[in-house]
């Protein structure tokens, strides 16, 4: 369907994450107006994905055997759709999910896009990955940063939030030495490692527990903290254009940050008749009123054992000696873990399957778009929200994006990264009373190389 290299000029760079590039449409096809195209990337030096062969490993196919369409999928795109339709849709409310449709894209089209968007991609993303030009399909999804039907003279303002994990784990399998995980969020601990590794320039004051609290004031506090430190967790779009937050993902160094200053944003928003403070309050009100994060939290909580428990079960599935038990000499812990190693294959599959579903829910984002209601009427496919302080109500729509299936083979990486995060946090906590924010010195647990 998008086959000509010439079609590429109608698509502009909208953003990207670790795995996909997303393009907005600026051409004249009525079918494509208001849509984005989500194209898969491939790691530089990695091999592009050949279409037509099974994309899941044997162990993954066993794990997802109850979902035939997923287990037997012959392209990543088909697997992605099946995962969203048969797994995530049941867990999160269908009305907040839009899997999009698969469209055919030619190599010529993808190569032309690659060339066109090069200057807008963050350099560190260019170094890491490129468009997978051999991938013959891409997803056409509604652009959730706009509300179709917003009158030309009016505006549409949207936020994108990557909430991350919204609960503290309480698994009995968390080793006593890692007890800090029970009372400090993974997000907070990870911030210190990210700062040390130069991925962020300051520690965020955002607390996911506030966002997921179900309490209006705490949700508002979380939104304010996200605005103060957006990193890759917060963006604002005005009429579909990014006006605040990093383009392309996590790094928030000034050179890869494309947002205007807080003051300029406040001016832009107030030109739409809305004060920045009221806008942030409106976002909090919509999150609170919709209860949209309740089901997301429940899905994240399918991770019951924490990676410190789930990792053992993973080794049951791949039928290999457990690398964690092998490196432990703590008899008491080994005894505790032995109960996990005696679980049946079916129980093991269920635990790891749910761990991976939870991992998707901990990494997805939420987009909420707002437009003014005309004459107090709200659009049929929107909910409405109002603030006492504003003499105006707003239509809003909320959608989850990036509900990608996580690969089973990531389990070992998850364990290493978890230990690296907690070790780094503990070491700084002990030596300085509170974690260092200087970002200097080598990280402890370098042997636990979570980048491999
Ligand atoms: O492990 P985390 O918590 O750092 O999450 C990764 C994200 O990092 P973040 O901390 O949100 O900046 C990471 O985001 P960035 O690339 O840092 O923007 C990805 O979302 C990654 O998922 P995938 O490899 O694309 O499937 C995410 O990996 P998963 O853990 O979700 O597999
Ligand atoms: N349906 C959509 N409407 C509008 N913008 C979108 C849509 N989907 C994605 N985007 C934009 O594109 C960016 C990248 O998309 P996405 O999060 O799906 O990439 P990813 O590579 O899967 O991310 P991750 O790093 O989390 O794996 C998003 O952060 C968002 O700004
Ligand atoms: Zn073990």
Global ipTM: 0.97
In DSSP terms, which residues pair with 400 in a beta bridge? 97, 366
* Atom number, ligand 2, closest to the C-alpha of residue 100: 1
> From ligand 3's centre to the CA of 365, what distance in Å?
33
Check whether 266 has a pLDDT greater than 90. Answer: no
DSSP 3-state of 278: helix
Distances (CA, A) of 343 to 43, 64, 148, 314, 316: 36, 18, 51, 11, 8
- Would you kindly state where each structural domain of the chain is located, as residue ranges? 2-142, 156-431
> From ligand 2's centre to the CA of 404, what distance in Å?
11
**Can you tell me which residue has the tokens 């269908």?**
94
DSSP 3-state of 314: helix
* Atom number, ligand 1, closest to the C-alpha of residue 249: 18
**Can you tell me which residue has the tokens 């706009």?**
146
Q: Which residues line ligand 1 (CB under 6 A)?
A: 17-19, 190, 232, 249-250, 359, 363, 404, 406, 410, 417
Sign of CA dihedral 388, 390, 394, 398: negative
**Can you tell me which residue has the tokens 């994060």?**
293
Q: What is the pLDDT of residues 24-74, one digit of tens each?
A: 999 999 999 999 999 999 988 776 655 555 689 999 999 999 999 999 998
Cβ–Cβ under 8 Å, residues 303 and 354: yes
- DSSP E strands, 57-110: 101-104
> From ligand 2's centre to the CA of 246, what distance in Å?
12
Q: What is the CATH number of domain 2-142?
A: 3.30.200.110
- The whole-model pTM stands at 0.91
Check whether 249 has a pLDDT greater than 90. Answer: no
**Atom 2 of ligand 1, nearest CA residue:** 363
Of residues 285 and 381, more confidently modeled? 285
Residue 178's pLDDT band (cuts 50, 70, 90): very high
* Atom number, ligand 1, closest to the C-alpha of residue 162: 11
Residue 359's pLDDT band (cuts 50, 70, 90): very high
* Atom number, ligand 2, closest to the C-alpha of residue 160: 31
**How far is 89 from 104, CA to CA, in rounded Å?**
24
The region that residue 104 occupies, defined by phi over 0 for left and psi between -120 and 50 for alpha, beta otherwise, is: beta
pLDDT the model gives residue 384: 87
pLDDT the model gives residue 416: 98
> From ligand 1's centre to the CA of 212, what distance in Å?
19
The token pair that represents 184 in the structure block: 């400090």
Choose which residue among 15, 18, 234 to substitute to test ligand 1 binding: the one with the highest number of ligand atoms within 8 A of its C-beta.
Answer: 18
Query: Around 201, how many Cα atoms within 13 Å sit in the side-chain half-sphere?
Result: 12
Distances (CA, A) of 308 to 32, 39, 76, 304, 336: 46, 34, 29, 10, 11
Q: What is the pLDDT of residues 152-172, one digit of tens each?
A: 778 899 999 999 999 999 999
DSSP 3-state of 63: helix
* Atom number, ligand 2, closest to the C-alpha of residue 20: 21
Distance linking the first and last C-alpha atoms of the chain: 38
Which of 8-17, 77-86, 421-430, 432-441 is predicted least confidently? 432-441
**Atom 4 of ligand 1, nearest CA residue:** 190
Choose which residue among 38, 144, 243, 406 to substitute to test ligand 2 binding: the one with the highest number of ligand atoms within 8 A of its C-beta.
Answer: 38
Cβ–Cβ under 8 Å, residues 385 and 289: yes
Cβ–Cβ under 8 Å, residues 15 and 242: yes
Check whether 441 has a pLDDT greater than 50. Answer: no
> From ligand 3's centre to the CA of 339, what distance in Å?
9
Most confident listed range (112-126, 160-174, 273-287): 160-174
**Atom 13 of ligand 1, nearest CA residue:** 18
Q: Which residues line ligand 2 (CB under 6 A)?
A: 14-20, 22, 36, 38, 141, 143-145, 160, 235, 249, 363, 365, 401-402, 404
**How far is 423 from 440, CA to CA, in rounded Å?**
16
**Atom 16 of ligand 1, nearest CA residue:** 18
């Amino acid at each position: 369907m998008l086959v000509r290299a010439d079609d590429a000029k109608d698509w502009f760079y909208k953003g990207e994450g670790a795995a996909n590039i997303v393009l907005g449409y600026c051409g004249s096809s009525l079918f494509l107006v208001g849509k984005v195209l989500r194209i898969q990337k491939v790691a530089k030096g990695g091999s592009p994905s050949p279409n037509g062969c099974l994309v899941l490993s044997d162990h993954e196919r066993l794990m997802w055997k109850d979902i035939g369409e997923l287990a037997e999928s012959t392209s990543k795109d088909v697997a992605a759709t099946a995962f969203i339709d048969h797994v995530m849709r049941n867990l999160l409310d269908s009305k907040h999910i839009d899997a999009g449709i698969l469209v055919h894209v030619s190599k010529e089209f993808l190569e032309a896009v690659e060339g066109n968007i090069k200057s807008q991609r963050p350099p560190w993303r260019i170094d890491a990955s490129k468009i997978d030009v051999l991938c013959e399909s891409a997803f056409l999804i509604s652009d959730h940063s706009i509300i179709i039907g917003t009158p030309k003279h009016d505006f549409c303002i949207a936020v994108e939030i990557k909430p991350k994990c919204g609960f503290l784990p309480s698994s009995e399998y968390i080793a006593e030495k890692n007890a800090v995980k029970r009372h400090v969020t993974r997000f907070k601990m990870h911030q210190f490692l990210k700062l040390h590794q130069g991925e962020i320039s300051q520690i965020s004051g955002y607390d996911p527990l506030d966002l997921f609290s179900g309490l209006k004031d705490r949700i508002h506090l979380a939104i304010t903290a996200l605005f103060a430190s957006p990193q890759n967790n917060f963006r604002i779009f005005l009429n579909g254009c990014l006006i605040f937050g990093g383009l392309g993902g996590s790094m928030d160094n000034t050179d890869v940050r494309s947002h205007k200053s807080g003051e300029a944003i406040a001016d832009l928003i107030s030109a739409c008749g809305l004060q920045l403070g009221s806008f942030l309050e409106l976002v909090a009100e919509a999150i609170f009123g919709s209860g949209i994060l309740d089901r997301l939290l429940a899905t994240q909580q399918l991770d019951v054992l924490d990676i410190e428990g789930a990792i053992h079960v993973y080794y049951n599935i791949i039928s290999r000696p457990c690398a964690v038990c092998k490196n432990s000499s703590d008899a008491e812990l080994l005894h505790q873990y032995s109960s996990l190693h005696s679980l049946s294959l079916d129980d093991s599959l269920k635990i790891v399957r749910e761990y991976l579903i939870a991992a998707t829910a901990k990494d997805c984002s939420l987009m909420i778009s707002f437009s003014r209601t005309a004459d107090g009427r709200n659009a049929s496919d929107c909910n409405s929200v109002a603030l006492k302080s504003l003499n105006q109500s707003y239509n809003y729509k909320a959608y989850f994006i990036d509900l990608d299936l996580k690969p089973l083979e990531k389990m070992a990486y998850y364990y290493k990264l978890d230990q690296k995060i907690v070790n780094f946090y503990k070491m700084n906590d002990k030596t300085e009373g509170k974690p260092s924010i200087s970002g200097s010195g080598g990280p402890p647990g370098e042997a636990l190389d979570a980048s491999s």
